[in-house]
Structure 1
Amino acid sequence: MEFLKNSKLYSIFTGTCPVCHEESMYKEHNPYKISRLFDMHERCSNCGTKYKMEPSFFFGAMYVSYAVGIAFATAAFVLSYWVFDLSLLGTFIAIVTVLVIFLPVIVRWSRNIWINFFFSYDPKKTKS
Structure 2
Amino acid sequence: MLPKGSKLYSIIFLTCPRCHKGEFFEANPYKLSNFNKVKERCPKCDLKYSIEPSFYTGSMYVSYAVGIAVAVAAYVLTLLFGLQLSIGALFVVIVASLVVTMPWIAAVSKSIWANMFFKFDKEIAQKIN
Q: TM-score scaled by structure 1? A: 0.92
For residues 54-65 of structure 1, the aligned pairs below 5 Å read 54-65=52-63
Q: 4+ runs of 1 displaced by more than 6 Å?
A: none
Counterparts of 1:85 and 1:54 in 2: how far apart (Å)?
49
1:67-100 per-position Cα deviation (integer Å, ceiling 9, x unaligned) = 0000000011122245322221111110000000
Could you tell me the TM-score, scaled by structure 2's length?
0.91
Secondary structure of residue in 2 paired with 1:102 = helix
Other-structure match for 2:42: 44
Count of aligned pairs between the two proteins = 126
Output aligned runs, 1:74-85, within 5 Å. 74-81=72-79, 83=81, 84-85=83-84
Unaligned runs of 5+ in 2: none
Tell me which amino acid in the other structure corresponds to 2:46. G
In the alignment, structure 1 residue 123 sits paired with structure 2 residue 122: yes
**What is the root-mean-square deviation of aligned Cα atoms in Å?**
1.3
Identity %: 48
Gaps of 5+ in 1: none
Taking a change above 3 Å as real, the CA distance of residues 115 and 91 of structure 1, as seen in their structure-2 partners, is: same
Give the distance between the partners of 1:37 and 1:21, measured in 2 at CA.
Answer: 21
